[in-house]
Amino acid sequence: MHRTYSKTAQHILSCAQTMRGGGVERALLRMAEGWLREGRRVTLVLGSDAGPLAAEIPPGIELIMLGDARYSALFRLGEHVRASAPDLVFCPGNHYSAVAALTRFYLGRTSPPIVAKVSNALVRPEQGRLGAWAYRRWLRLHPRFLDHVVAMTPAMAAEAVAEMRMPPERVSVIANPPAAARPDAAPMPLPAGRYIVGVGRLEPQKRWDRLIAALPRIADRQVQLLILGEGSARAALEKQVAALGLAARVSMPGHAGDPLPALAGATVVALTSDFEGVPGVLREALSVGTPVVSTESSVAVREIVTAPDLGTIVPREDPAALVAALDDWLTPGRTRPAPVAADGDPIAEYLALFDRLVAGQQQGF
């Protein structure tokens, strides 16, 4: 069993593949900043610092640079855990589950506690029957290599218990730290007049094609569409915009260092994903008083959009409902919601959990 001489999680180690701008990595950096502020030591094993989030790596974090952006580079994380001897390993999202599994396999009983955050839906309607079966089998292995799971909402915690078969006492509910304004971020040019904004990676999961396809059907023919993010689907989305003759109404300027000004200035925020975990952009939009329209892409969406005056939830495969919801919120004079403040202290809640797990492991000696 891992031997630690700390009674609490004084040294936390985590990992990330790149700094290309995913919500998982951005939330990790916010958490690391908070842990450092509370006097903890934080080590980040990073495949590559390529990407715009590199500017958000907090001062004081200890970096182990692998110099390799491939996911497989992180498969040797266990070697860095053994060399660094942290009190606890934090897996920042579903994407890194295989890394956590291999780390546990490599270290065996010498492994420190491993905590993982559920960052994406565990029930994936877009998967075929065979894919869904294989994914369920994989999820049910998680209790063997994870000591504890953090879900961001109660519904996501219930999904973790049901799909991973994780014992309820090994699942906690802790929100991501709220977004804060970043005065050091480069300003993002915003459309003149009214606009819809989407924030997220340009990847197939996000289904920005749905939002682009809805734009010509919206009653307001002058409203603009701003999509902030970068990813592999850019070329396909640009081709769609050109085919629909929307080049004058759609802008995709890339990653935003601070999306809050764009969210605050928008008439409505749209999220059209096939699947999500707990979409932070919805909370960020509501924090600045901007209504949202979202597909039912996660069990957590209804835990965020809790009332009709905050926004509208539509089925994933219902283009007419998406257009109707956008038209409703684009109605001139439509009342905007009051800003929704975040509850709790996620940094303190994470550290309390980490300390409890480290103390519990010590009692085994």
Question: Kindly report the CA angle at 360 between 356 and 361, in degrees rounded to 5?
Answer: 120
Confidence of residue 365 (pLDDT cuts 50, 70, 90): very low
β-pair type (148-151, 11-16): unpaired
Q: Contact at 8 Å (CB) between 237 and 209?
A: yes
pLDDT, tens only, 307-352: 999 999 999 999 999 999 999 999 999 999 999 988 889 999 999 9
CA distances from residue 236 to 24, 198, 212, 240, 274 in whole angstroms, order as listed: 24, 17, 11, 6, 17
Q: How far apart are alpha carbons 267 and 289 in whole angstroms?
A: 10
Which helix (DSSP H) or strand (DSSP E) does residue 244 occupy? Answer: none
Give the dihedral sign, CA 332/338/344/346. positive
Paired strand residues for 41 = 11
pLDDT, tens only, 249-263: 999 999 888 899 999
pLDDT of residue 348: 97
Arithmetic mean of pLDDT, 4-29: 88
Q: How far apart are alpha carbons 215 and 225 in whole angstroms?
A: 8
- pLDDT at 68 exceeding the cut of 80: yes
pLDDT of residue 327: 98
Mean of pLDDT over the chain = 93
pLDDT of residue 93: 93
**Number of residues in the chain:** 365
pLDDT, tens only, 40-53: 999 999 999 988 88
Single-letter code of the amino acid located at 255:
H
Q: What percent of the chain shows pLDDT beyond 70?
A: 97
pLDDT, tens only, 117-168: 998 878 776 677 888 899 999 999 999 999 999 999 999 999 999 999 999 9
Task: Report the predicted TM-score, pTM, of the whole model to 2 decimal places.
Answer: 0.86
Q: Contact at 8 Å (CB) between 190 and 262?
A: yes
Measure CA 313 to chain center.
19
Closest Cα to residue 135, out of 124, 120, 151, 146?
A: 124
Most confident residue range from 5-19, 59-73, 330-344 = 59-73
> Under 8 Å CB-to-CB from 137, ≥6 apart: which residues?
none
Q: Contact at 8 Å (CB) between 300 and 276?
A: yes
Which helix (DSSP H) or strand (DSSP E) does residue 311 occupy? Answer: strand 311-314
pLDDT of residue 343: 83
Confidence of residue 180 (pLDDT cuts 50, 70, 90): confident
Closest Cα to residue 170, out of 179, 160, 178, 180?
A: 160
End-to-end CA distance of the chain: 8
Give the dihedral sign, CA 290/286/160/154. negative
Burial, 327: exposed, middle or buried (Cβ in 10 Å; 0-12, 13-18, 19+)?
A: middle
Single-letter code of the amino acid located at 27:
A
Confidence of residue 363 (pLDDT cuts 50, 70, 90): low
